[in-house]
Structure 1
Amino acid sequence: MEWNRAIDNEHTHSRFDRVCRLMVRYRPLVLATILIITAVLGCGIVRIRGEVLLYELFPIGHPYLQIIARFGNIFGGGGSGAVVAVNVKQGDIFNKDTLVKIQRITEEVSMWDEVYRVLTVSIASPSIKVVKAKGGGEIGIEPLMYPDVPGTPGEMEMLKKNLYSNPSYNGSLVSKDGKGCLIVTEFKEDVPYERSFALLTKIVKEYSDGNTSIHVSGFPMLMGWVYSYKKQIEVVFAVSILLMILLLYCIFRNLAGMLTPMAFACVVTVMGLGFIGWTGVNFSPLLYVLAFLVGARIVSHSVQITHRYFEEYERAGGDKAQACFQTMRTMIVPNIAAVATEVAGFLTLLLAKIILMMHVAIIMSFWMACISLCGIMTPILCTYMPGIGKASQKYAGQRAKDDLLGRIIVGVARWCIGSGKTIAVAVLIILIGLAAWQSSGLKIGDPTPGTSLLWPSHVFNRDTAAINKTFNASSENFVLYYEGSKGSVYDPVVLTTFEKFARHMEAQLPDIYKSSTSIINTVKMVNETFHDGDKMWHELPREKKLLEGLMGYVRQNTDTGTFARFADKGFERAQITLFFADHTTESLRRIKEAAYDFFKTHSWTTDKGRFILAGGRVGMEIAVNEEMKRAHVLIDAAVFIAIFVLCVLSYFSFTAGLMLTLPLLLANLVAFAYMALANIGLSVNTLPIAAISVGVGVDFAIFLYSRCKNEFPKQNGWESTVLESVRTCGKAIVYTGLTTILPILTWYFISDLKFQAQMGIFLALIMGVNVILALTLHPLMICMIRPRFISGVKEPARTNPEPAMLPESEHAPKG
């Protein structure tokens, strides 16, 4: 009752203050309501799914993706290819034991329900053919090594001859040195990556021995490796959280100050995770970085409000209700304003036409929006924390000290606005120039062969490099389609265009082109055999009737499964698949340019149909990169515009919007410069983090500006206002930054996932730059610009977010 009377005696009559008084008076009910909502949302945690489907990672509205979806229903395949290489260490593969092993692997893989059986290919597959001349002028098209492996030396030599005499097999299905063989397959699009990984690693474990090594590459294997680090990622985050707790204790030096932010963080975390479960959105391990970033922001906001409560508690003479009320009325509005800028960052991801990023925008925006409860819940939690009186006494003692950190912060600020002003401006200009120059090298997509998600020494990258070095085939395939009227594939123009296209790509891209596969290979073999095995006739007939006759012969003498990879039953559609060494940003650009250059001198259409680009894994990656390039510009612009507008509305000043937003550009340039320097490309995984990180540092400047507004009427001029503001809230900015930066930095040293480690450096860098700018550039700008939004109108108490974690001297003005 005494607490309620204390609140009633406050001479504040605004509607906002009345709401704050009601929440303090009925804080058990308010807290219970929040906890009930949390419990309801928390029930969704058990529904969280950790699988991300392939179509969620790509811009399904892009023409290439629509083409791939349409033709995928005919030929199968949609970017989930995997390549298994069987290599021997001694001798070659042409012995019965090794060939039986290859045969068993092929049979096992083709029998998996998770793969397209007709797209599973090796020298032991029934779809890999050899053309043989038989007696009486008859020609047969038979499996190369199916259903049995060679049993005699003569049969073994014949297998070698058939392989090495065929350009389509030599170097592709079997290595040129005879020490390796490829098994290529395609997983269905709805297969979880953890399942694909389990199947592929089972092959590696079962068939590897002292003389046989198994290497696996492809997108399903990559994502499987990423998912295999899920537990380690959780351990890394646990270590970061423990470090964060330790930092909180070191900052507050009491349990109440440590437990309050962590308690609020637990509540909001349950809300966020529960919401993810209820929405049914797949929560990939690669999104855990974003989740931790949100968690760090939760703690950061709560730390500020907890310190403010300590300050108000000391001023109120130990009155918990009064402290709670004053903290609410001064911190709710700035808390919501700061959260709004971060929510805006997530919402801009809706501009990307990729399902995963749209899902991220929705779930993370809600999660971040829940932090707006901090201004209400944190003060209420403080009233129930044991030992809050002793904690406030310790805080009051710290305020009276002027320690080394305080002197350094004030000294740096004094130098920046005084004798070092010219040097500071010069350094700033140089830094902007260097950062802009370096960030210009930022790539869209993956700039490295293999994958940048894993370290170069990782087994996946080693296996991918080994396969690329040994074979002329890979999981990086590029498809040219043909579609026309029924039977139009018989038109010689179709196959001759396919062949010319492959030769053009090989000539234009000799360093990354590997090989191609289509029905052309079988037609050439038949033509060669019809001419007594003369290699000069290993080509497509130039006469239309001869070509039509050969194609008809091949179709009549080949099983349906073989043809299903290259043409449909009605001969309305066909495809040629080209294999390339990698999908780096530069390679994708060159592949697309070369493909379209071909059709500058060749017609896209025939009399009965047309050619269509582009399919395969390379086509999908090109689509993603084009969407990333488009979305990157829009999202970055939208984030800065949103932050600018919100800052203008917060201070009712255009100048305030510019002063708060422009320095964020520098921090962003520095972060992008690091990405370019570390060879990190903008991808589906990195773009959300890059977009969100833009607004995480604006809080620090807002703290400083709000303190300046409060101090200006009490000080003698701009310089004293800035120095006093830096002295009083500088530690708050430093401590808040360290609470997030140090735990995130640990990722680089303890994570085996390169993506997580590099994002740790990226986030720590952008937040660290914003902390430094808040204590150097912003004081300089205030003194130089002397903005009216600071000096013109005294700020009402409730919009005065005064970060209270700083020790003030005994003579510092309070308020």
Structure 2
Amino acid sequence: MQPNNQRYSEPEHFLISPESEPFLERLLFGRRHVVMALLVLITLVFMFGLTRIRLDSSIEKYIPLQHPFVQSYLKHKDDLKGGVASVRIAVAARNGSIFEASYLQTLNKITDDVFFIAGVDRSALQSLWTPNTRWTEVTEEGFQGGPVIPPDYDGSAASVETVRENVLKSGQVGRLVANDFGSSIIDVPLLAVNAETGEKLDYQQLSHLLEAQVRDRYQNEQIAIYITGVPKKLGDLMDGAVAIGYFFLAAMLMTTALLYWYSRCWRGTLVPVLASLIAVVWQLGALALLGFSIDLYSVLVPFLVFAIGISHAVQVINSIALHAGVGENSLWAARKAFRGLYVPGMLALLSDAMGFLTLLFIDIGVIQELAISASVGVAMIIITNLVLLPVVMSWVGISPRGVEHARRGAATIPALWRVLSGFADRRLALPVLIASLVLAVVGYQYSKGLKIGDLDPGAPELRADSRYNLDNDYMVEHFSTSSDILVVMVETPIEMCNSFKVMDVMDRFMWHMKNVPGVQSGVSLVSVSKLVTKAMNEGNIKWFALSRNQTILNTSVQRAPGSLLNGNCSMAPVVLYLNDHKAETLERVVAEVQQFKARFDDQVDDVFFGMRPDDIQSAIASGKLESVPVRFQLAAGNAGIEAATNEVIGDAQNRMLIFVYLVVFALCLLTFRSLPAVSCILIPLALTSILSQALMTWLGIGVKVATLPVIALGVGIGVDYGIYIYNRLEAMLIDGKNLREAYLETLCSTGKAVSFTGVTLAIGVATWIFSPIRFQADMGILLTFMFIWNMLGALILLPALTSILLRPEHIRQRHQRIHGEIPPAI
């Protein structure tokens, strides 16, 4: 055997002859030059794909399109003004009120600038300066009204006073005008498609335009600008996602430094890092070539791919260094490392990929694309870490300093390993198992308080002191109508939405909902009818009610805005303004709507809802209908869409966990062919899952679009530790060692790599805690916790379980039955 610091010079075909060598090993290392040429070609192709990657902020990807609430919204989307995609701009006078000529002039300029921003639904844009903001009053001569700011406004004191009077008569105080008259709102509905480009509206670009053309241009010592709305929130989040690149760089540098400290070899440091980066390039390039884009959540996946790649690369480098330390040359050290690790490595990576694919069962586009993105990334790691890395290392090898470091490490057994090996003894295993059981019970009880959805007001995805949340706080404080809107769509036959029966049920519904905690106020066609009827009767409060006379009802809704009924009067929305969009608020409000719907919805065929008034009256006369049919449909508005999202996540949470564990269970059972062995691997994972949910409850982190994937990611990545530990432990047991000796040997080789990767990955994701994006910080906390606890579970709980559940002699007998002999451990 030649010294390992020399290159092996004999022809390779003489070395690749033993039949005991796996076919895949002979294939890869027997044609190393061909393999490398193919890998370089693949890299060039995916680098080209990388140039075509793009960020996508499409709002449809963040909502469950197949949920009944969303289906109802999409059915009436064209009839609803604004819907989910709308922005509210509050223009505030810092030192005075809105009734000043200078303020009104500035508001006019801002309205004009916003009007010409690409993607704005100009027909529905509303501010004090738009003609759809009107005032109405009743005089001796009948109804009078007009735009709040009249065409002859000239900025004089008299004109400003006229505007003030019109505002008071418009009913917009608390809605379009602040309660303290210190600011007013420009309501900006958006189109789904940019009419100028024909492409989906880019919310990040829209956010930049609003900042540049509104806030930066007009905010000064006299004027303050506040901007809210789901599209603006998404734009701010996309801007914050740029910081992810810096965290990725920081994590990569820290990982490189720690890997060098671990290996004492620049070759053994740079090659794994480059292999993991190549996996990221392949992943992004493949996604681009397949037509996928990067969104707000999947932008975090490249870091996870890099982290998983490093995790497995450390195992390969560690094994190569150990083989080199006993005198193997670079080629045979790489070959033997591949031979010993490709089965557990493949199993671990397949478990990762299949775990991620279970996210496809969640009917939310952004989560499904995250699942695809992560699975593609893991598929790339299978090639880069199990093929590219060992093949390259077969040429460059471990440096003499690295070999000497590995040799010294193998010759010395740290005191920590001796202590940990004691957990493979039943005397120490029982206390560990009892403590784990107590943790599981306590964690499970505490995790029952875990909530679905947001637990904080504003935009919980952003920090509380972010510009968006400060703007939202201003809106909530100064206006009676919040930015959290739930719209219930009342469906009727054509031209029947203003019939007395329908209006009466809507009136009862509004009264019912206004008395529900969390509902701030509401508005509908009934609100307009009551106000007009009262006005037509000298303002007498006794007439603030629905008239049973259909002619009076028809007259009372003639001037109703288009946002409160559709064109053929077959749908009238009831707009509910909520105090917030916290999970418990949405659950309570939706439950009350469902309860009312169950009592008052007419259970008739859909065909009746398409009939004309004469046909409806004929159906009533013939007894086919008792009265005009009506039904309440949930839900539109940002709160309605979020309620639907919460329901999907709540239903999918446990189902997804079950799928993840079933997949991992099946793969482990197929590989190790032992239920006790699979139990030893999965029980530590289950404990981590329980404790992570308890941590979420304690930290006030709800289960939502941003955090649900972390649960699957934690299981998928965490199983790697247990697979590598158990695979090495089983090999030592087959070699004839007792359980404690076998586990001590495992700790000195694989355990060292597992502890290093666990700590390294935890340090890398811990940097996310400082991100300006709240959901990334939450993911950083949860992943750090999972990496550490999965590592501890593999090092402490797994050997304790093996001492109870496994019998070394049974493992040897099973292996002998399968293979016909008991080979030495690799």
Instruction: Tell me the CA shift for residue 767 of structure 1.
Output: 1.0
Pick aligned residue for 1:370 from 372, 376, 380: 380
Instruction: Tell me the CA shift for residue 662 of structure 1.
Output: 1.7
Instruction: Tell me the CA shift for residue 566 of structure 1.
Output: 2.3
Q: Which residue of 1 aligns with 2:49?
A: 44
Distance in 2 (alpha carbons) for counterparts of 1:120 and 1:629: 36
* CA shift in 2, pair 1:79/1:754, >3 Å: same
Q: Which residue of 2 aligns with 1:392?
A: 403
Q: Which residue of 1 aligns with 2:110?
A: 105
Q: Deviations over 1:250-306 (max 9, x none)?
A: 101110110120121122111101011112222124322222111101111111112
Instruction: Tell me the CA shift for residue 158 of structure 1.
Output: 5.0
User: Structure 2: 5+ residue runs without aligned partners?
Assistant: 1-6, 193-199, 604-626
Instruction: Tell me the CA shift for residue 638 of structure 1.
Output: 0.4
Amino acid across the alignment from 2:188: T
SS in 2 for 1:448: coil
Distance in 1 (alpha carbons) for counterparts of 2:208 and 2:434: 57
Pick aligned residue for 2:523 from 517, 526, 540: 517
SS in 1 for 2:324: helix
Q: Which residue of 2 aligns with 1:805?
A: none
Amino acid across the alignment from 2:536: F
Q: Deviations over 1:600-627 (max 9, x none)?
A: 4434476155432222212211111111
Q: Which residue of 2 aligns with 1:695?
A: 716
* CA shift in 2, pair 1:118/1:479, >3 Å: farther
User: Structure 1: 5+ residue runs without aligned partners?
Assistant: 556-561, 803-812
Pick aligned residue for 1:324 from 297, 320, 334: 334
Q: Which residue of 1 aligns with 2:343?
A: 333
Distance in 2 (alpha carbons) for counterparts of 1:384 and 1:797: 35
* CA shift in 2, pair 1:273/1:259, >3 Å: same
2:194 aligned with 1:172, yes or no? no
SS in 1 for 2:488: strand
Q: Which residue of 1 aligns with 2:622?
A: none
Amino acid across the alignment from 1:614: A
2:472 aligned with 1:467, yes or no? no
* CA shift in 2, pair 1:155/1:608, >3 Å: farther
2:247 aligned with 1:233, yes or no? no
Pick aligned residue for 1:209 from 212, 217, 220: 220
Q: Deviations over 1:730-779 (max 9, x none)?
A: 32221121221111112223x22222222112111101001111221111
Q: Which residue of 2 aligns with 1:574?
A: 572
Distance in 2 (alpha carbons) for counterparts of 1:3 and 1:379: 18
* CA shift in 2, pair 1:247/1:441, >3 Å: same
* Greater mean deviation of Cα atoms: 226-235 or 608-617: 608-617
Distance in 2 (alpha carbons) for counterparts of 1:459 and 1:772: 40
Q: Which residue of 1 aligns with 2:359?
A: 349
2:560 aligned with 1:550, yes or no? no
Q: Which residue of 2 aligns with 1:223?
A: 234
2:595 aligned with 1:597, yes or no? yes
2:203 aligned with 1:182, yes or no? no
Q: Deviations over 1:336-386 (max 9, x none)?
A: 111010001111011112222222222321210122122222111112327
Q: Deviations over 1:607-663 (max 9, x none)?
A: 155432222212211111111112212211000011111111111112222221121
Q: Which residue of 2 aligns with 1:280?
A: 291
Distance in 1 (alpha carbons) for counterparts of 2:341 and 2:739: 25
Distance in 2 (alpha carbons) for counterparts of 1:156 and 1:171: 19
The normalised TM-score by structure 2 is 0.89
Instruction: Tell me the CA shift for residue 75 of structure 1.
Output: 2.8
Pick aligned residue for 2:77 from 61, 72, 76: 72
Instruction: Tell me the CA shift for residue 506 of structure 1.
Output: 1.1
Instruction: Note if contact 1:345-1:691 (Cα within 8 Å) is conserved in structure 2.
Output: yes
Q: Which residue of 1 aligns with 2:497?
A: 489
Distance in 2 (alpha carbons) for counterparts of 1:583 and 1:236: 30
Distance in 2 (alpha carbons) for counterparts of 1:727 and 1:24: 28
SS in 1 for 2:451: coil
Instruction: Tell me the CA shift for residue 716 of structure 1.
Output: 5.5
Distance in 2 (alpha carbons) for counterparts of 1:770 and 1:389: 33
2:37 aligned with 1:32, yes or no? yes
* CA shift in 2, pair 1:415/1:518, >3 Å: closer
* CA shift in 2, pair 1:221/1:769, >3 Å: same
* CA shift in 2, pair 1:612/1:394, >3 Å: closer
Instruction: Note if contact 2:16-2:26 (Cα within 8 Å) is conserved in structure 1.
Output: no
Give matches, 1:410-425, under 5 Å. Answer: 410-414=418-422, 417=425, 420-425=428-433
Q: Which residue of 2 aligns with 1:478?
A: 486
Instruction: Note if contact 1:114-1:188 (Cα within 8 Å) is conserved in structure 2.
Output: yes
Q: Which residue of 1 aligns with 2:206?
A: 196
Instruction: Tell me the CA shift for residue 53 of structure 1.
Output: 1.0
Instruction: Note if contact 2:297-2:370 (Cα within 8 Å) is conserved in structure 1.
Output: no
Pick aligned residue for 1:729 from 750, 754, 763: 750
Instruction: Tell me the CA shift for residue 693 of structure 1.
Output: 1.3
* CA shift in 2, pair 1:152/1:134, >3 Å: farther
Amino acid across the alignment from 2:131: P
* CA shift in 2, pair 1:440/1:791, >3 Å: farther
SS in 1 for 2:316: helix
Instruction: Note if contact 2:710-2:782 (Cα within 8 Å) is conserved in structure 1.
Output: no
Give matches, 1:385-784, under 5 Å. Answer: 385=396, 388-402=399-413, 406-414=414-422, 417=425, 420-509=428-517, 512-552=518-558, 554=559, 562-563=561-562, 565-604=563-602, 607=628, 609-713=630-734, 717-749=738-770, 751-784=771-804
The normalised TM-score by structure 1 is 0.90
Instruction: Tell me the CA shift for residue 456 of structure 1.
Output: 1.3
Distance in 2 (alpha carbons) for counterparts of 1:708 and 1:540: 79
Instruction: Note if contact 1:329-1:797 (Cα within 8 Å) is conserved in structure 2.
Output: no
Q: Which residue of 1 aligns with 2:611?
A: none
* Greater mean deviation of Cα atoms: 682-691 or 568-577: 568-577
Distance in 2 (alpha carbons) for counterparts of 1:785 and 1:172: 67
Q: Deviations over 1:771-812 (max 9, x none)?
A: 1112211111111222456443458999xxx9xxxxxxxxxx
Instruction: Tell me the CA shift for residue 148 of structure 1.
Output: 5.8
Root-mean-square deviation (CA, aligned residues, Å) is 2.8
Amino acid across the alignment from 2:724: F
* CA shift in 2, pair 1:231/1:795, >3 Å: farther
Instruction: Note if contact 1:567-1:573 (Cα within 8 Å) is conserved in structure 2.
Output: yes
Instruction: Note if contact 1:24-1:324 (Cα within 8 Å) is conserved in structure 2.
Output: no
* Greater mean deviation of Cα atoms: 254-263 or 354-363: 354-363
* CA shift in 2, pair 1:385/1:796, >3 Å: farther
Amino acid across the alignment from 1:241: M
Amino acid across the alignment from 1:587: T
Q: Deviations over 1:584-615 (max 9, x none)?
A: 11111011012122234434476155432222
Instruction: Note if contact 2:331-2:397 (Cα within 8 Å) is conserved in structure 1.
Output: no
Distance in 1 (alpha carbons) for counterparts of 2:24 and 2:746: 30
Distance in 1 (alpha carbons) for counterparts of 2:366 and 2:749: 43
Pick aligned residue for 2:133 from 128, 131, 134: 128
* CA shift in 2, pair 1:19/1:578, >3 Å: closer
* CA shift in 2, pair 1:574/1:401, >3 Å: same
* Greater mean deviation of Cα atoms: 294-303 or 483-492: 483-492
